[in-house]
Amino acid sequence: MQDVIQLTINGLLQGGIYSLISIGLTLIFGVTRIVNFAHGEFLMLAMYATFFLFQLVGIDPYLSLLIVTPLLFILGLCSERLVIHPILNAPPFMQIFATVGLSVALQNAALFFWTADYRSVKTAYAGMMIPAGDLLISFARLMAFVAAVLISYGVFLYLKKTYAGRAIRAVAQNRTAATLMGINIRRVYFFTFGLGSALVGIAGALLMPIYYVFPTVGGLFVLTAFVVVVLGGLGNMTGAFIGGLIIGLVESYSGFYVATQLKEAVYFVIFILVLLLKPSGLYGIVGAEEMGEK
Amino acid sequence: MIRPLIRAFHEPKGYFFLACLLALVFLPLIVENPFVLHLVIMMLFYAALGGAWNIIGGFGGQLSLGHAAFFGLGAYTCVLLHLYTGLNPWAGMVVGMVITSIFGAAISYPCFRLRGPFFTLATIAFAEVLRILATYFKNFTKGSTGITIPQNMGLANFMFREKAPYLYIILIFALLVFVVSYLIEKSRFGYYLQALREDEDAAESLGINNTWVKLKAAVISAALTSIGGVFYAQYILFIEPYSEFSLDMSIQFALIPMIGGMGTAIGPIIGSFVLTPLQELLRSWLGGGFAGLYLVIYGIILVLVVIFMPQGILGLFKRSESEKETLPSAGGPNIRP
């Protein structure tokens, strides 16, 4: 019983990290329907920014959120203008290659400037465990989990209540109808890309006390994030949050009961099954997954 | 069926192609530099694999990023059979082709329902699952340590000390892929594929059995890709899950026809003959002192290609052609039953 509870807690906390990374991606993928392979590299850059702010200036990772988030927002806007904007009318497959190109360039630029070394920040709370009865809860992971809850709820409210949020949701649901209603699609894309990148910036800062940063760290997370996004339903914040938790739990249980090396295989199989049986995901609108196409 | 091939020699391009082929046949007799021969082998290798991808990806518009699954499956089947039963690699290649074809049909059939990025993501997931399984079953596949193929040179064992025999084998294979693609391009089956690429619903309403046509193309593509996997394994004499089933490999297969011109038989050849030397040269110029720099340039080139020439190299020629014509030259009027 003890095992099951600890596994559940570990799974939920790991899931919180996946949710955190996927929230930005579900926004970008849901709205633009572009498979952004560079999302992982944005995470990597955010982690490096956090690392250097800590190492050179001595700013605590949690405090550096205030700097890293706007930085990533600007990076997102720039990449949209330079890479995504010119290819919006290209065939979907070409778009994938543009983001793959961006991902390869960013990854290797990091390798060029900062070498392949694994770096981590040494804070007082990095390895801190909170004992709760017989259970152990990692402080940094708990912080990431809380942040995932707050951010997904915040973005959910933003999309639900504000005018700009409604416009973003409209574009995600039906591009053509949104255009007919007078929404400036290009501006929505521009802003969404910045917002999605800012969200992964938050994820990067919160992950820095937990993980090492190295040039290919984004690759570890990006495929998982796509699994979460499709599982939760495109552009759906609640979906991304719940989807992340499910994948975290699946990973935790299958890592323990099946085999550690097979846990990825298990969630890729789930991913395939979701795509085949319910491609709109848990919370997506049925049919919305095809509407984004021209 | 062979008629389109003969007809190709009514035009100068057929003879140009033949001349290039002859030049490649005589190349190993003149050039002995192993780097040059290796470069030519890799150019032909990627031309063949890009061509195999192009059959379902280019003609059929089913944009897979999971072809490494077929590649690795062919290689692993052949090498494992050789290791455990002593089966000859040539026979192993045939077994690998059969297994990969069945696997290709089994995974493609459900995936064809998916469209756009969802199909692509599903194909990535299948290749990842195979990679993880190949890593996991250590006792059988040696896991991530990989398998070094025991050296036993000779034609019968598909293993050579020199580069020249590999060059001839890959030349024959690349030619096979080209001929298959060319025949598809000129056949009724090819027109079906292109029709459903342009509009699946319209194609269906014209009486094309979409699923069957796509399935056939997927199986041909998977079988040819598995041959490529066997060649690669026998060429470097070492296999391991991360290189065989890698997403990078799948991306490379799709990139080649994309650069050359998707949905044409000649496109992958042009793509590979431009891209492969470029990659090798960038690597040898910048690879030494500056880790990663050549890939930064490569990534930027990729983005620029997508932005400025989304139709590939052939697209540059087509554009100037279609400016002359009033009608777009998309197949249609030349179909003869």
Residue B333 has pLDDT above 50, yes or no: no
DSSP secondary structure letter of residue A56: I
Q: Using the beta-carbon criterion (under 8 Å), do A293 and B120 form an inter-chain contact?
A: no
- Rounded to two decimals, the ipTM of the complex is 0.85
Looking at per-residue pLDDT, the higher value among B39 and B322 belongs to B39
Give the pLDDT confidence score for residue B1 in this predicted structure: 66
What pLDDT does residue A30 have?
A: 85
| Token digits of residue A117 | 């070394």
Q: For all residues of chain B together, what is the average pLDDT?
A: 86
| Beta strand extents in A77-198 (DSSP E only) | 129-132, 135-138
Could you report the per-residue pLDDT of B3-19, keeping only the tens digit for each?
777 777 777 878 888 88
Distance CA A22, CA A238 (A): 11
Report residue B288's pLDDT band, with 50, 70 and 90 as the boundaries: low
Given CB atoms, is A260 within the 8 Å cutoff of chain B? no
State the pLDDT at residue B321: 55
Q: What is the DSSP string of A236-285?
A: -HHHHHHHHHHHHHHHHHHHHHT-GGGHHHHHHHHHHHHHHH-TTTTTSP
Residue A143: is its pLDDT beyond 60?
Answer: yes
Higher local confidence (pLDDT), B119 or B290: B119
Model confidence pLDDT, tens digit, residues A221-252: 988 999 998 888 887 888 899 999 999 999 99
> What pLDDT score does B328 carry?
43
Average pLDDT for B57-85: 92
A215 interaction partners in chain B (CB closer than 8 Å): 292
Tell me, what amino acid is at A166? R
**Better-scored residue on pLDDT, B151 or B193:** B193
Mind listing the pLDDT tens digit for each residue in B263-278?
Answer: 899 999 999 999 999 8
Confidence of residue A192 (pLDDT cuts 50, 70, 90): very high
Q: Which chain B residue's Cα is nearest to A225?
A: B121
- Give B57's contacts (C-beta < 8 A, 6+ positions apart): B63, B64, B67, B221, B254, B257, B262
For residues A182-209, give the mean pLDDT. Answer: 92
Mean pLDDT computed over A148-177: 89
Distance (Å) from the alpha carbon of B311 to chain A's nearest alpha carbon = 9
Would the CB atoms of A293 and B251 count as touching at under 8 Å?
no
Chain B residue whose CA is closest to A268 = B125
Residues A92, B63: C-beta atoms closer than 8 Å? yes
Residue of B121, B137, B253 to mutate, testing the A interface (most A Cβ within 10 Å of its Cβ): B121
Q: Which of B64, B112, B303 to mutate to test the interface with A (most CBs of A within 10 A)?
A: B303
Q: Is the pLDDT of residue A39 over 90?
A: yes
Average pLDDT over residues A12-39: 90
Average pLDDT taken over every residue of chain A:
87
A97/A128 Cα distance (integer angstroms)? 41
Which distant-in-sequence residues (6+ apart) come within 8 Å of B24 by Cβ? B40, B44, B167, B171
Name the more confident of B48 and A230: B48
B292·A259 Cβ contact <8 A? no
Closest residue in B to A270 (Cα–Cα):
B125
Host H or E run for residue B238: strand B238-239
Contacts A107 to B, Cβ<8 Å: 292, 295, 299
CA–CA dist B247, B124 (Å, integer):
7
Chain B residues close to A254, C-beta within 8 Å? none
Q: What is the pLDDT at residue A175?
A: 84
Whether residue A275 and residue B118 make contact (CB cut-off 8 A), yes or no, is yes
Question: Per-residue pLDDT averaged across A45-54, rounded?
Answer: 94
Asked if residue B329 has pLDDT above 80, the reply is no
The mean pLDDT of A260-266, rounded to a whole number, is: 85
Q: What separation in angstroms does the CA of A130 have from each of A142, A143, A188, B94, B326?
A: 9, 12, 42, 59, 74
> Residues B229-262: pLDDT tens digits?
999 999 999 999 988 898 889 989 998 998 898 8
- Given a cut of 70, whether residue A134 has pLDDT beyond it is yes
Q: What is the mean pLDDT of residues B117-136?
A: 90
Q: Roughly how many angstroms between the first and final C-alpha of chain B, as a whole number?
A: 12
Q: How far is B25 from chain A (nearest CA, A)?
A: 34
Residue A234: per-residue pLDDT: 81
Can you give the pLDDT at residue B322? Answer: 52
Top residue of B306, B307, B308, B311 to mutate, by most chain A CBs within 10 Å, is B306
pLDDT tops 80 at residue A288: no
Give mean pLDDT, residues B57-78: 93
Can you tell me the mean pLDDT for B88-102?
94
Q: How much is the pLDDT for B74?
A: 95
- CB count within 10 Å of CB A68 equals 27
Chain B residue numbers with beta carbons less than 8 Å from the beta carbon of A111 are 291-292, 295
Contacts of A272 in chain B (CB under 8 A): 122, 125-126, 129
Residues of chain B positioned with their CB less than 8 A from the CB of A268: 125, 128-129, 132
Predicted local confidence at residue B326, as pLDDT: 41
Residues 71-100 of A with CB under 8 A from B: 83, 86-87, 90-98, 100
- What span, in angstroms and rounded, lies between the C-alpha atoms of B119 and B110? 10
pLDDT at A287: 53
Name beta bridge partners: B207.
Answer: none
Does A279 have pLDDT greater than 80? no
Residue A129 to residue B87: CA distance in whole angstroms: 55
CB contact under 8 A, B306 and A105: no
Please tell me if residue B288 touches chain A, with a CB cutoff of 8 Å.
no
